[in-house]
Amino acid sequence: MKLAVWDPDEPFRRWRDALAQHAGELRLAVEVVDAAAEPDEQADFALVWRPPAEWLAGQQRLRAVFNLGAGVDAVLPLMRAHAPQVPLIRLEDAGMGRQMADYVAEAVLHAHRRMDDYAALQAHATWEPLVLAPRTGFGVGFLGLGHMGLAAARRVQALDFPVLACTRSGTPRAGTDFDGPIYGIDRLYEFLGHCRVLVVLLPLTPETRGLLDYGALSHLPRGAHVVNAGRGALLHEQDLLDLLEQQHLGGATLDVFEHEPLPAGHPLWSQPRVRITPHVAAHTLVGPSAAQIMRKIAALERGDHPGGIVDARLGY
Ligand code: GLV
């Protein structure tokens, strides 16, 4: 079988070598082609990150498309337009959960230990111990409890902060070891009212786009910290800035933005209580991802349904 890889972020040979290794272990005969170099090669399976529409449209015999990331918002519209019958399969953790847990844990501790306040005091050479909020009242809320949200929530739980979550349905997925209350999205404002730190890890869909606007964000308690490591368009950047300037919000740690790279001169760059990282919270790891994708291909070959098949109706 032929596998085509389209990944502008990674040298092709890294994918080729890792896929060949795992195919060998599973006794699958595969040929891996570089879709950017050989766009006319027809593949059975495609592994893609932001592929061009015309390349996808030209692929006639695809049996499945694997998204080389957790979020499928960039590729799903292309699939709908050019390959509506082909299953789209996303990565399930594949080493990203631990990275996300690290990113979120750092932000929670940063907020709890009032590091932005100390940075402001340091700027004026001021030695002033600040009061620490009791941990028991310092709720950390997870908006979205998929693979990324759950990995991060587990870590924050292990740091002894009270956790809560808000998801579309408000019910835990089977087998989920999440220890806090879970609100349905219809109770979003009530949920936000309990979040001293809000961690945004929702998929971007027509329902979630722009969900965190001024009205929603102003339900966060005074001084709350916002962490967005999901997608930029979930949150209104100007509304966040307004609430920071009005000192309703205490700070933000942002990894994703409505427009990436974040344009030079964007007011977020110069807001001292905003920390910016360039979409690096959880990077796709070639080794674990190739292993997972080859296992899923083996399952498809056996006629099984692997995990991570995107529900096009829900958009994730
Ligand atoms: C990164 O943003 C991903 O979706 O994996």
- Per the CB < 8 A criterion, the answer to whether 217 and 234 are in contact is no
Query: Which architecture does CATH list for 96-276?
Result: 3-Layer(aba) Sandwich (3.40)
Whether 112 is catalytic is: no
Are 2-94+284-301 and 96-276 the same fold in CATH?
yes
Q: How many helices (H) and strands (E) does the chain have?
A: 10, 12
For this structure, is 82 an active site residue?
A: no
At 59, the amino acid letter reads: Q
**Residue from 50, 219, 279, 295 carrying the catalytic annotation:** 279
Active-site residue, selected from the candidate residues 231, 236, 248, 283: 231
Q: Which atom of ligand 1 is nearest to the CA of 69?
A: 5
- State in Å: Cα 129 to ligand 1 middle: 39
Q: Which residue has the tokens 């730190």?
A: 197
pLDDT at 174: 77
d(CA 266, CA 85): 40
68 lines ligand 1 (CB under 6 A): no
Average pLDDT per run of 10 along the chain, which is 316 residues long?
A: 97 98 97 98 98 97 97 97 97 98 99 98 98 97 97 98 97 86 98 98 98 98 98 98 98 98 98 98 98 98 97 95
26, 295 in Cβ contact below 8 A? yes
Longest dimension (CA), the chain: 67
Query: Which residue's CA is minimally distant from atom 5 of ligand 1?
Result: 69
Q: Domain-by-domain residue ranges, the chain?
A: 2-94+284-301, 96-276
Cβ 280 vs Cβ 255: under 8 Å: yes
Cβ-Cβ contacts under 8 Å for 231 (sequence gap 6 or more): 71, 73, 202, 203, 204, 256
Q: Which one of 277, 284, 286, 289 would you pick to mutate in the ligand 1 pocket, going by the greatest count of ligand atoms within 8 A of its CB?
A: 284
- Classify domain 2-94+284-301 by CATH number: 3.40.50.720
pTM exceeding 0.75: yes
Mean pLDDT of the chain: 97
